[in-house]
Structure 1
Amino acid sequence: MSLLPDGPSVSAAPPGRLKLAAIGDLHVGETHVQPYRDLFSRISQEADVLALCGDLTNYGKTPEVEILAEDLRVCTIPVVGVLGNHDYECGQPQEVARILTEAGVKILDGQSYEVNGVGFAGCKGFIGGFGRYMLSAFGEPEIKSFVQASIDENLKLETSLRMLRTERIVVVLHYSPVQDTVMGEPPEIFPFLGSARMGETIDRFEGISCVLHGHAHRGAYEGRTPRGAPVYNVARPVLNRDLGIEYALLEV
């Protein structure tokens, strides 16, 4: 798996390989006018699949999702995606997912999807921290409920990975499964940017080509799970700031 520069100069992927465009944290607002239509049109010419890594809207409002859905209709390639915390803000994630699904997006929330021999697994993920600082289910009921929410999301990820029989797997998340890609954010908020539980789960499976996530706007672009699976933070602010590109283009 390798990183390609985005743009029309990208050559065709070798036979059997897939060109994957990835971006997260689009944050579409209800006053935006065709914010990503041109971008999605270009991506359709340069990639085989588009992965969206959550926070697709500002607040999960119906008008925001409808604006994004109209732009996504120009995509002529398969689109997979997960929701992010912003997409939950209005309390209607099912409606957000429904509108995007009708626009042709395969929403991953514990499900899996296959494109040309490459399997896609994923879910939103959740928070909880990393390493020895990962929060455990001890103490007050509120803490136990918090940790249980992280465990439940991790079980969705495991379920989606178990469904796949492909030799190459791409994991799509919103929250980070490793600390590497949240570096650059204030250390005080690391526990709210992801959970190592997901990284541990990913490392139990063979054939992980790469892991994609967003959410950490001031994080780092690249990291690895403990077993070495490459992890990419494709939050739009990271791509714009660190790489000077609009989306990541990966060869899988």
Structure 2
Amino acid sequence: MQEENTEHKKLRIAAVGDIHVQEQDAGKWTDFFRQVSEEADVLLLCGDLTDTGRESEAEVLAEELKACSIPVLAVLGNHDYDHDQVKKLRKVFAPTNLKLLDGDFTVIGHVGFAGVKGFGGGFDRYMLGMFGEQLNKDFVQEAVTEALKLDAALSQIDSEHGDLKKIALLHYSPIQATIEGEPEAIHPFLGCSRLEEPLNRRNVLAAFHGHAHVGTLEGETSTGVKVYNVSKPVLQKSEYEKPFFLLEV
């Protein structure tokens, strides 16, 4: 079998977060999915696929996705968990071209994509520690667990496909730079530096996230990994030329 020569072929990655699909959105996203299908090879949805996590909202998105002819990779966001219907959401999306990532990965062309939701906890020297009441420890443990899941998925890409470039897909931010613009009081709830560690350790090419609607489009980790906040409101605020961020790899 002849292998496809991908050495000089760019993979066009489109990314957007926080689309917050509602029950009354039938037909609203058709043009968006048609456009992204023409201009990209894969679409990343960085959480908050639905507005309140209801099955009925997921059903609207599933119908809209019929206009999308490229693979769609996604992670869930905090809004998708709001009504405790995650199992129902997964069932709705299962027969569509949308693949949910949660501590696992998939390969498209010469790129491996790993995804987790992530969690809050704060950044750098203000990161919340594993101390005090059990509720506090549980909060920190959630961020630790998400970071470990991300690291495991990235590690598996390396062990099974060592020559691939790696992209991370998140909802919560791994760095503070891309949430700048949000009130400082809520920074600990918008992401956590624990998510940055796997990006640096595994030499990730770039990471995409959403969640921070008033954040900043671009930043980088302490080792130079590019991080993009592609929340739909951030793209609009930044006057980005497209309704999705586009990166060629």
TM-score norm. by structure 2 comes to: 0.93
| 1:249 paired to 2:246 | yes
**How big is each residue's C-alpha offset from its partner over 1:181-214, in whole Å with a ceiling of 9 and x where there is no partner?**
00000011100000000101210012x2210000
- What is the match of residue 3 of structure 2? none
- Deviation of 1:42 after TM superposition, in Å, equals 0.9
- Preserved contact between residue 26 and residue 64 of structure 2 (Cα < 8 Å): no
- Deviation of 1:173 after TM superposition, in Å, equals 0.2
Q: Which of 186, 189, 197 is the aligned partner of 1:189? A: 186
Supply the distance in 2 between the matched residues of 1:155 and 1:175 (Cα, whole angstroms): 15
- Deviation of 1:108 after TM superposition, in Å, equals 0.6
Supply the distance in 2 between the matched residues of 1:62 and 1:40 (Cα, whole angstroms): 21
Map 1:233-244 to 2 at 5 A.
Answer: 233-244=229-240
- What is the match of residue 32 of structure 2? 39
Supply the distance in 2 between the matched residues of 1:220 and 1:99 (Cα, whole angstroms): 32
- Deviation of 1:30 after TM superposition, in Å, equals 1.1
Q: Which of 157, 181, 191 is the aligned partner of 2:150? A: 157
Which amino acid in 2 is paired with 1:44? S
- Preserved contact between residue 151 and residue 202 of structure 2 (Cα < 8 Å): no
- Preserved contact between residue 21 and residue 51 of structure 1 (Cα < 8 Å): yes
* CA RMSD, 1 decimal: 1.3
Q: Equivalent pairs: percent with the same residue? A: 46
- What is the match of residue 133 of structure 2? 140
Of stretches 29-38 and 45-54 in structure 1, the one that deviates more from structure 2 is 29-38
Q: Which of 93, 107, 113 is the aligned partner of 2:106? A: 113
Supply the distance in 1 between the matched residues of 2:26 and 2:90 (Cα, whole angstroms): 21
- What is the match of residue 167 of structure 2? 170
Gaps of 5+ in 1: 1-12
- Preserved contact between residue 117 and residue 146 of structure 2 (Cα < 8 Å): yes
Supply the distance in 2 between the matched residues of 1:209 and 1:19 (Cα, whole angstroms): 14
- What is the match of residue 90 of structure 2? 97
TM-score norm. by structure 1 comes to: 0.92
Q: Which of 46, 51, 76 is the aligned partner of 1:53? A: 46
Supply the distance in 2 between the matched residues of 1:81 and 1:30 (Cα, whole angstroms): 20
Supply the distance in 2 between the matched residues of 1:101 and 1:217 (Cα, whole angstroms): 28
- What is the match of residue 221 of structure 1? 217
Supply the distance in 2 between the matched residues of 1:101 and 1:219 (Cα, whole angstroms): 31
- What is the match of residue 7 of structure 1? none
- Deviation of 1:180 after TM superposition, in Å, equals 0.4
SS at match of 1:73: helix
**How big is each residue's C-alpha offset from its partner over 1:66-110, in whole Å with a ceiling of 9 and x where there is no partner?**
000111122111110100000000101122122123212111100
- Deviation of 1:53 after TM superposition, in Å, equals 0.2
Map 1:115-134 to 2 at 5 A.
Answer: 115-134=108-127
Supply the distance in 1 between the matched residues of 2:27 and 2:76 (Cα, whole angstroms): 20
Q: Which of 21, 28, 36 is the aligned partner of 2:21? A: 28
Q: Which of 68, 71, 82 is the aligned partner of 2:75? A: 82
SS at match of 1:50: strand
Supply the distance in 1 between the matched residues of 2:93 and 2:174 (Cα, whole angstroms): 25
- Deviation of 1:14 after TM superposition, in Å, equals 8.8
Supply the distance in 2 between the matched residues of 1:173 and 1:87 (Cα, whole angstroms): 14
Which amino acid in 2 is paired with 1:201? P
- Preserved contact between residue 121 and residue 161 of structure 1 (Cα < 8 Å): yes
